[in-house]
Structure 1
Amino acid sequence: ALAARAGVRGPGVGLMTAADVSAYAHARDGGAEAFVTAGVDVRGWAARPGEGAAGAPDPGTINVVVAVPAALTDAALVNAVATATEAKVQALVESGLDCSGTPTDAVCVVAGSPGPGREAHAFAGPRSLWGARLARAVHRAVRDAVRHETPGPGY
């Protein structure tokens, strides 16, 4: 219903959050595109000692949607999520944020479909063709989105 009201048709993915996602950015690299929202008021490290799932976390989220025109195997899609996450963390640390993200971050990878004469790529790690492009696009978009969200020294 939300998509229909926005005039969007066809299959898709929706990311819902209670966080302020007005700080966002888009970046491209060699055909790969990254769309990133950055609500970084609540942030931390993924493996933080002593934390559990008690209570609802305060709103804060970094949503990453990456699109590559190439077809990716299922394994490469998993690899692409890891690559996007690595690039996100690199951008956060380089931006002076002492964190790996927020408690509710999401990553979505959209890839092309295999077809006649079009084989799916088996890898999407940071040193593969599409993984490298994806990583650079995510890195740039996260840096830009965080810069809009968190003004101050170094931004």
Structure 2
Amino acid sequence: MPARTLLTSASLAGAALLTHTEQSREWPLLVWTPGPGVRMVSSAVLGGGIGEREWVINAQVPPGYDRLDPVAHLRDLAAGAGLVGPGVGLMTAASVADRRHAEDGGARAVVTAGIGVRGWAAAPGVGGVTIPRPGTINIIVSLPVPLTDAALVNAVATATEAKVQALVELGADASGTPTDAVCVAAPVPTGNEAEPFAGPRSLWGARLARAVHGATRAACAGLISAEDTGRVG
């Protein structure tokens, strides 16, 4: 198990890369353990919503992953990594080892990306009940300041806008993939001190946006370039 550290650049950018076994092969498992005293908001299948969380895992799984128990699977992976207490679990078929990190004024982001299946969110004639699948652009963000509940939700929107900006700038005709996921972490407020805003023109929202934008561009640039030249299916 990686040593518990404070919510610092070194802890997120240097998140431990472990392995887990699936289909008789070893797959990477990114593990970040900021420890207690951290609140997170996430769209992840495990530990989603808003609440205090002590760890985040981003598990790479085989292409065509078809297990029907992703929550139980992620819990098993967390236990295998020695993690205890509440946490957030994300999945992706993209390369976790090829994660990219960016920082802006204390806001830090790590992004793993695969964009083989991508499109626009408001595509006509699609939708319905589906089994959750591993996200292919996974964003993990840490901020050094507490946020209100509303600001945490705002931070998710800001991170998503920054992701889309990066994709459009790179020439991807898409707003993302159908199963992207995000997690934003910030310290637990002490007293009534918490940032009320995290939109893109607020101090911390702007920093978050630039960090996510930079990490997303770095994570997706080579994939889009390779796909344009026919090297990626």
| TM-score (ref. length: structure 2) | 0.59
Q: Structure 2: any 5+ residue segments left out of the alignment? A: 1-75, 229-233
% same residue: 67
Q: Is the strand fraction higher in 1 or 2?
A: 2
Post-superposition Cα deviations, 1:102-155, rounded to whole Å, max 9, x if no partner, equal 000111111111115x710000001111101100000000000002433347xx
Q: What is aligned with 2:169?
A: 94
SS in 1 for 2:198: coil
Q: Cα RMSD between the aligned structures?
A: 2.2
DSSP 3-state at the match of 1:150: helix
Q: Any conservation in 2 of the 1:64–1:138 contact (CA below 8 Å)? A: yes
- Confirm or deny that 1:14 pairs with 2:62: no
Number of residue pairs the alignment of both structures matches: 151
Match of 1:34 in 2: 109
Give ranges in structure 1 of 5+ residues lacking alignment.
Answer: none
Contact 1:72 1:121 in 2 (8 A): yes
Alignment of 1:66 with 2:141, yes or no, is yes
Distance 2:88 2:132 in 1: 23
Q: CA 1:123 to 1:24, structure 2 compared with 1: closer, same or farther past 3 Å?
A: same
Match of 1:126 among 177, 181, 200: 200
Distance 1:102 1:7, change over 3 A: same
TM-score by length of 1: 0.87
1:6-56 Cα offsets, whole Å, 9 max, x none, are 344553211023x22344211111111111111100000000011123767
